[in-house]
């Protein structure tokens, strides 16, 4: 271990061999893949960090996942394959996977980043995972990277293609309003008309800035979604 308590290169190499199923010929590729820019800056080697390998590893991971999913789901449509790949390659999933494997214990951070909790940051840890895959690709080529991806994702493959989810305009509007106004939109039922079996609901959504958008539909929840969609369209035009 170094003075910060992080496990050394020999331990990292053994870890990669066990968890990723790969033995490095050039250990320095892995050392760099696990080195955060904060560590490089503090050590006086400002360019010797993992950002370029993360860029490479991101592309390698996408290709490997695409191939595995293409083979595993021969009848899946393009959109279904894309959704499965996006979920597997999301920063949130990579962060959880890296921590489950224990990769976060080997990331080399600067003292300042360490004190600020960098070892628990999603971007730091997920980037290190992609950088490690980039390093494996550099050291052993595509087949080696593909085998490593297959090993670390072995328990994560979906059992069936992911279907397209309906758009949740209300959740998106909530997020937009929090970002723009630091407050939530407010929904209200304006009117309900028609026979009991064919009711039409008119609802409104009021933004934190006072503007109101209305919509009607056969269900209150549907009308709220439509009103939210109207508000989103305007906000996106104003805030491209």
Which positions are catalytic?
58, 130
Count CA atoms closer than 13 A to 7's CA, side-chain side: 14
Tokens representing 119? Answer: 């070892």
User: What residues pair up with 216 in beta bridges, in sequence order?
Assistant: 202
CA distance 220 to 157: 37
The candidate with the shortest Cα–Cα distance to 37, out of 144, 102, 152, 131, is 131
- Location of structure tokens 């959880």: 96
Token reading at 193? 């008309």
- Please report where in the chains the tokens 């630091």 appear, as a residue: 182
Task: Let me know if 224 is exposed, middle or buried by CB neighbors in 10 A (0-12, 13-18, 19+).
Answer: buried
Measured CA to CA in angstroms, residue 148 lies from 20, 28, 61, 152 at distances of: 5, 18, 10, 6
């Amino acid at each position: 271990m170094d003075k910060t308590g992080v496990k050394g290169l020999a331990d990292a190499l053994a870890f990669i061999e066990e968890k990723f199923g790969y033995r490095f010929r050039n250990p320095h590729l892995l050392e760099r893949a696990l080195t955060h820019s904060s560590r490089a800056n503090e050590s006086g080697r400002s360019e010797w960090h993992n950002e370029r390998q993360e860029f490479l590893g991101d592309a390698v991971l996408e290709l490997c996942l695409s191939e595995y999913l293409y083979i595993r789901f021969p009848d899946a449509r393009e959109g279904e394959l894309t959704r499965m790949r996006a979920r597997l390659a999301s920063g949130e999933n990579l962060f959880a996977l890296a921590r489950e494997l224990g990769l976060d214990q080997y990331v080399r951070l600067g003292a300042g980043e360490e004190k600020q909790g960098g070892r628990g940051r999603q971007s730091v840890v997920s980037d290190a995972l992609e950088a490690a895959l980039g390093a494996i690709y550099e050291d052993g080529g595509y087949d080696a990277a593909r085998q490593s991806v297959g090993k670390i994702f072995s328990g994560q493959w979906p059992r069936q293609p992911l279907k397209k989810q309906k758009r949740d305009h209300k959740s998106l509007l909530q997020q937009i309003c929090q970002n723009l106004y630091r407050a939530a939109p407010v929904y209200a039922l304006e009117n309900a008309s028609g026979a009991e079996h064919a009711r039409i609901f008119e609802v409104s959504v009021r933004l934190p800035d006072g503007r109101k958008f209305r919509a009607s539909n056969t269900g209150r929840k549907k009308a709220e979604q439509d009103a939210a969609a109207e508000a989103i369209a305007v906000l996106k035009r104003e805030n491209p």
